[in-house]
Amino acid sequence: MRNTRAKKDKILWVIGGGQLQVPLIEEAKKLGLTTLVTDKNANCVAKEYADHFYPVDIFDIDGSIKLLFRLRQDGMNIIGVLAAGIDANVTAAIVAKVASLPGVDPQAAYLTHYKHAFRKFLRDHNLPSPQWAEVSTLGELKESIKRIGVPFIIKNIDNSGSRGTKKFFSIPGDKELAAALEDAMANSSTKRALIEELLSGTEQTVETLYDVDGVFHPCFITDREFDPRNEWAVEIGLRHPTVLSLAIQKRLYSVTKKTADFLGITIGAAKVDMILTKKGPVIIEMTTRLSGGFDSQYLVPVTTGKNILRAAILTAIGKRFPKELLIDKKHRVGVTGSLWPKPGKIVSVKGIDEARKIPGVEYIFFRNEIGDTVLPYTDSAKRVCFIIATGKDESDARDILNRALKIISIITR
């Protein structure tokens, strides 16, 4: 890792050092930018890809601002700040604001980061959203259930990967309710929780981007797959591009733009998770960063050739991006899947290298090692293995994915 601090270097500050930040760093370097990464984990995977690294927590706004002042005092030429695939959009917005760099209004970042604040915003602007309530006691929760009804879902206020989230299809006993509430609050920085009606329908990620001129760009829509019978909100796969008709896609983009405009977003990412119900699209979550879940970083590029990362980087440093970055050049179909070994200690892993050789298997991300413990699948972050496959159509892509899944063996004890 390079440690020189050349004043002429044009530095992009990437907040977060996980796997999803690696393609962002690589893309920034292709643009001739120097990269600076912050993450509290001094051994994070992105550290070795960055030109500069500082162990600052992605949620530590004060620490990030202090680092900004120190680095500028040292003569470092930071020209952009970006959070992508990680829930640090508030930190990125505030640091960009303090540094007088391109970035979303911190208020919009705040409103979308905290689910209760965003739910209130949607309600106040008559935008589609579930019935909901913010709670912190069993009594408040039980009163809210009476109003919202069954089925319902209890979730965290400001965490990702469905951590601290559980679905209920009937009213459980107080002990089970209290445990779910405690888990949701433990996964929230506010130590409160959200309860909302459990909607029925297909789920989508809608990715959009406002350029430096404030022009809205639809980027892509990916279909998200969940088991509707599972009490845990664990994503089991993705499908790109969406199977929705062009008319419905246009409607989803329209709802996204309307919401973003109400929020005052004029630059940067505006990503929405929606459920398409019988009554129409309903917004579940929104954020002012690019999607995570390997979507904009890996799935979309290998399926379409779209380069959302480059478009976002150019926007973050105040430059226009060419429209061809958002054009489908490959016209393939991509799907993702995971292996679900039984919880326990991993004692054997076989077949990954062989599976990687299958034509159409684009990526295999194995998050654990032999000796690690597989935990019960109570949220999407507990997934052990993540596979991306592409094909000429969905049938072809799923056949390739299933071949890889059958070859890989993960044994736990």
pLDDT value at 8 more than 80: no
pLDDT of residue 98: 98
Q: What is the pLDDT of residues 29-42, one digit of tens each?
A: 999 999 999 999 99
- pLDDT given at position 79: 98
**With bands split at pLDDT 50, 70 and 90, how would you rate the model's confidence at 4?**
very low
Sequence-ordered list of residues with C-beta below 8 angstroms from that of 211, at least 6 positions apart, any chain: 217, 267, 311, 315, 320, 321
Instruction: Give the pLDDT confidence of 263-317 residue by residue, as tens digits.
Output: 999 999 999 999 999 999 999 999 999 998 899 999 999 999 999 999 999 999 9
Alpha-carbon gap, residue 352 to 171, rounded angstroms: 43
- Both tokens of 406, joined, read 């059958």
In angstroms, the CA 271 to CA 287 distance is: 5
Report which secondary-structure segment, H or E, holds 188. Answer: none
pLDDT recorded at residue 1: 45
Are both 200-330 and 334-412 of the same fold?
yes
Query: What residues does each domain of the chain span?
Result: 11-101, 131-197, 200-330, 334-412
- Tell me the per-residue pLDDT of 101-158, one tens digit each, with 9 for 90 and over: 999 999 999 999 999 999 999 999 999 999 999 999 999 999 999 999 999 999 999 9
| Mean per-residue pLDDT of the chain | 95
* pLDDT value at 367 more than 80: yes
CATH class (in words) of the domain with range 334-412: alpha beta
pLDDT digits over 56-79, tens only? Answer: 999 999 999 999 999 999 999 999
- CATH of segment(s) 200-330: 3.30.470.20
- In sequence order, what are the residues at sequence separation of 6 or more whose Cβ sits closer than 8 angstroms to the Cβ of residue 210? 216, 217, 260, 265, 266, 267, 268, 269, 270, 315
Contacts of 250 (CB under 8 A, 6+ apart): none
pLDDT at res. 231: 96
Q: Which CATH number fits domain 131-197: 3.30.1490.20, 1.10.3720.10, 3.60.20.10, 3.40.190.10?
A: 3.30.1490.20
Task: Report, at the CATH architecture level, how domain 11-101 is classified.
Answer: 3-Layer(aba) Sandwich (3.40)
Are 384 and 365 in contact by the 8 Å Cβ rule? The answer is no
Classify 374 as helix, strand or coil: strand
pLDDT, residue 7, reads: 62
Spatial distance between the Cα atoms of 122 and 204, rounded to a whole number of angstroms? 18
pLDDT of residue 6 exceeding 60: no
Q: Are 136 and 95 in contact (CB under 8 A)?
A: no
pLDDT at 387 exceeding the cut of 90: yes
pTM above 0.75, yes or no: yes
Name which of 353, 328, 344, 336 is nearest 376 in CA terms: 344
